[in-house]
Structure 1
Amino acid sequence: MMAPNNHFATLGLSIGADENQIKKAYRTLAKKWHPDKNHEAGAKEKFQEIAASYEYLSSKDRREMLERELRKPAAPAPPKAPQSTPQT
């Protein structure tokens, strides 16, 4: 299973950030990356990613669901196959 997109990280926030923190981070990043203000290569895509994360986290239900998903412990790595040693 693929890991969920960490929209908190996209906005430079810790998991569990509240609505005001999300809004403040979005405004700061949107000003920096808005394509009308920033003409660097990739600025438009970065702005779109920021806007999508803000939209996602603006929903309390989706935000709480993402928090639960991100806080789940990672699945342990599968055990390594035993290495055969040559018999002498």
Structure 2
Amino acid sequence: MTVTAFHVTPVLAFVDANYRPKIDTNEVDYLFEVPLEFLASPENLSSVAFHIQGKRHRVLSIPYKEHFIWGVTAQIIENLQTQLLLN
């Protein structure tokens, strides 16, 4: 669950190298790729703590080139890192 009370279910899949995505501009501004090796490295993840309505929250972030991955997306990646380290 996110700070804003959304439930998110991430799905991990293998995609054919020849796949060409079609972006729905109502949903996505742009698409970029990040190598799994980069995302799997805990050293690339940082966090900042803050308080909302008296509750402590942690915001995760992963800078990659000119991009800034943060919030629930970074949280999902942190969970993936944990799963990869366990196996």
- In proportion to residue count, which structure has more helix? 1
TM-score (norm 1): 0.30
- In proportion to residue count, which structure has more strand? 2
The structure having more radius of gyration, on CA atoms, is 1
Larger relative contact order (Cα-Cα within 8 Å, sequence gap ≥ 6): 1
